[in-house]
C-alpha cells in the first residue's frame, strides 16, 4: 500500500491500494459472525451474537453518514510512544499496517477495546480516561487533526492517561 499525502492532515491522504484484509475494514465486522459458534460458553455466544446484531442494526446503517478519512486501524498502547513530560505527549505512532479509509470513530473505538481490562481491580478505568480525553475540547478548535492524534493529546490532560498510553 502506498500512502500519498497532499498535506500532513490525514483527511487529505488517499490510499492508492486499500488494504483488502477483512479484519482491517470495520464495516466487514459481520463477516466474522461465524466465529461465534467457537465461543466455549453459551452465555459468551449469546453476548457475541448480540454484539453482531447491534453492529448490523445500529452501526452499519449509520456508516454512510459518519465522517470518513484514512484511519490508523490499530491505535493501541503497543503502537504509541509517549513522552509524559512533553506538551505533545504522543511522541510517535507506530505500525501503519492496518491503515484504511473508514469512519473516523473506529480509531478511538479500537483503542477503547484495547484498554478495557488492563487492570483486574478497575477494568474500565483506562478506557474511561481515554474517552474523557477524546470528549474534551481540543486546545485549538480551528485545527482539525486525525482522530487518534487529537484524542491522544487531549487525553494527556486527564488523570492516569500517562499510564494508559504507556502501558
11 contacts 1 by C-beta, under 8 angstroms = no
pLDDT the model gives residue 102? 82
Q: What is the pLDDT of residue 49?
A: 94
Beta bridge partners of 92: 81
Note the pLDDT of residue 11. 60
Residue 67 DSSP one-character state: -
Q: What is residue 139's predicted lDDT score, i.e. its pLDDT?
A: 63
Whose cell is 499510564? That residue is: 163
CATH code, domain carrying 122: 3.90.1200
Which residue segment(s) compose the domain that 124 sits in? Answer: 3-166
Dihedral over alpha carbons 111, 112, 118, 121 (to 10 degrees): 160
pLDDT tens by residue, the chain, 167 residues: 444 445 555 565 555 555 555 445 667 788 888 888 988 899 999 999 999 999 899 988 998 898 888 888 777 778 888 888 887 777 888 887 777 788 888 888 888 888 888 888 899 998 898 888 888 866 665 544 555 555 554 444 444 444 444 44
pLDDT for res 65: 92
pLDDT for the residue numbered 167: 42
What pLDDT does 140 receive? 60
**Alpha-carbon gap, residue 95 to 105, rounded angstroms:** 19
What is the Cα–Cα distance from 35 to 154, expressed in whole angstroms? 36
What pLDDT sits at residue 156?
Answer: 46
Please count the structural domains in the chain: 1
C-alpha cell at 98: 492496518
pLDDT at residue 42, rounded to an integer:
93
Amino acid at each position: 500500500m502506498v500512502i500519498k499525502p497532499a498535506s500532513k492532515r490525514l483527511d487529505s491522504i488517499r490510499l492508492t491500494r486499500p488494504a483488502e484484509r477483512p479484519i482491517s475494514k470495520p464495516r466487514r465486522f459481520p463477516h466474522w459472525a461465524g466465529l461465534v459458534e467457537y465461543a466455549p460458553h453459551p452465555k459468551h455466544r449469546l453476548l457475541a451474537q448480540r454484539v453482531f446484531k447491534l453492529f448490523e442494526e445500529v452501526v452499519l446503517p449509520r456508516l454512510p453518514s459518519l465522517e470518513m478519512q484514512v484511519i490508523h486501524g490499530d491505535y493501541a498502547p503497543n503502537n504509541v510512544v509517549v513522552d509524559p513530560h512533553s506538551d505533545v505527549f504522543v511522541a510517535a505512532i507506530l505500525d501503519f499496517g492496518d491503515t484504511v479509509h473508514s469512519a473516523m470513530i473506529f480509531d478511538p473505538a479500537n483503542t477503547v477495546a484495547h484498554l478495557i481490562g488492563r487492570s483486574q481491580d478497575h477494568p474500565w478505568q483506562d478506557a474511561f480516561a481515554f474517552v474523557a480525553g477524546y470528549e474534551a475540547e481540543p486546545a485549538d478548535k480551528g485545527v482539525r487533526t486525525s482522530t487518534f492524534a487529537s484524542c491522544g493529546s487531549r487525553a494527556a490532560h486527564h488523570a492516569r492517561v500517562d499510564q494508559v498510553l504507556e502501558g
